[in-house]
Copies of this chain bind each other. A is one copy, B any other.
Amino acid sequence: MSILVVGSVAFDDVTSPSGSVKNVLAGAATYFSLAASYFTKVRVVAVVGDDFGPDQEKVFQQHGIDIRGLERANGKTFRWGGTYTENLNEAKTDFTHLNVFESFKPQIPKEYEDSDYLFLANIQPTLQADVRRKMTRVRLVGCDTMNYWIKGTPKELAETLKLVDILLINDTEAKMLAHETNLPRAAQKVMAMGPQALVIKHGEYGATIFFREGAFGFGRHPFRAPALPIDEVKDPTGAGDSFAGGFMGYLASQKEINREVLKRAMFYGSVMGSFVVERFGTERLQSLTRDEIDARFQIFRELTHLE
């Protein structure tokens, strides 16, 4: 089934202890759609500037990603620069040039209206809500957000959360959103705001999905997927979006969503997150095969599997 992602396409400058790159294709919608493309048909709505050319188009097209929803605006594409030091968990932002992204108003092409799944990547919550309301035929809506919106636009975000099925955020964001330092209690508070399920990403420790009582026909027992301990993390940028792409992409590839499918989706999310950090930018996501993905899925399974 098809999945529509709405979010940012960007060019990044990244420095980490492993090296440094400039002007690499990035952005949440890019990471998400490349990761999801290994599982299902992906459509993108985003905005790019006149520095986005055939080379970048090709990256999407080679993965069968539909970019008819890519708006071309006058000016430059969104640019971000960041530096990771030894502690790879957090980037120091060197610069953020929103450029054409500043006035982004997502337009959904007619051909996208029959999309089965929707992922609202991290953009201003009211834009997320507008898109979600337009997509009346979707079966399931996933959503991301960040501390900037949690602090800056809490009311708008609260409206958006009423409209989504699964929210995917990290530990810090979940605690901030719930005003609660205990993780399972924070999870319950966040789900009370709207989502039926909440995926909390723990970085190198994996991710946990919490369910609202009765959601997806199951009890509220959480489920945790591990992350692979990786010898060299070159660039953590996009790990969360790639997780979301693997998670949502796998869901969209299945006939029905049940607890077992959601568990496997968590593992596929974790797998895609583990690949992307091995290289700078989207390099690793561009060259994967489904066999490599499934081989790592088995390694992840072994990592926590008791006979």
Contacts and interface: CB of A to CB of B under 8 A. Distances in A.
A184 B304 contact: no
Residue of A232, A264, A301, A303 most packed against chain B (CB within 10 A): A303
Contact of A306 (B222, B231, B232, B263): B263
A230 B304 contact: no
Contact of A304 (B205, B224, B307): B224
Contacts of A230: 182, 184
A306 B264 contact: yes
A204 interface: yes
Nearest to A225: B304
A62 to B, nearest CB: 31
Contacts of A222: 229, 303
A102 interface: no
A221 interface: yes
Interface in A248-307: 260, 263-264, 267, 299, 301-307
A221 B302 contact: yes
A216 to B, nearest CB: 16
A233 interface: yes
A226 B304 contact: yes
Nearest to A302: B221
Interface in A172-205: 181-185, 187, 202, 204-205
A306 B305 contact: yes
A159 to B, nearest CB: 28
A232 to B, nearest CB: 7
Contacts of A231: 182, 184-185
B306 A233 contact: no
Contacts of A202: 205
A95 interface: no
Contacts of A225: 304
Given A264-B306, A306-B263, A306-B264, A226 B226 contact: yes
Given A202-B205, A205-B202, A86 B304 contact: no
A87 interface: yes
Contacts of A233: 182
> Nearest 5 A-B pairs (CB), nearest first?
A205-B205, A184-B229, A304-B304, A86-B181, A224-B226
Given A182-B231, A222-B229, 12 more contacts: A87-B181, A182-B233, A183-B229, A184-B231, A185-B232, A205-B205, A221-B299, A221-B302, A221-B303, A223-B304, A226-B226, A304-B305
18 contacts: A87-B181, A182-B231, A183-B204, A202-B205, A206-B224, A208-B229, A210-B229, A221-B302, A222-B303, A223-B302, A223-B303, A223-B304, A224-B226, A224-B303, A225-B304, A226-B304, A301-B306, A304-B304
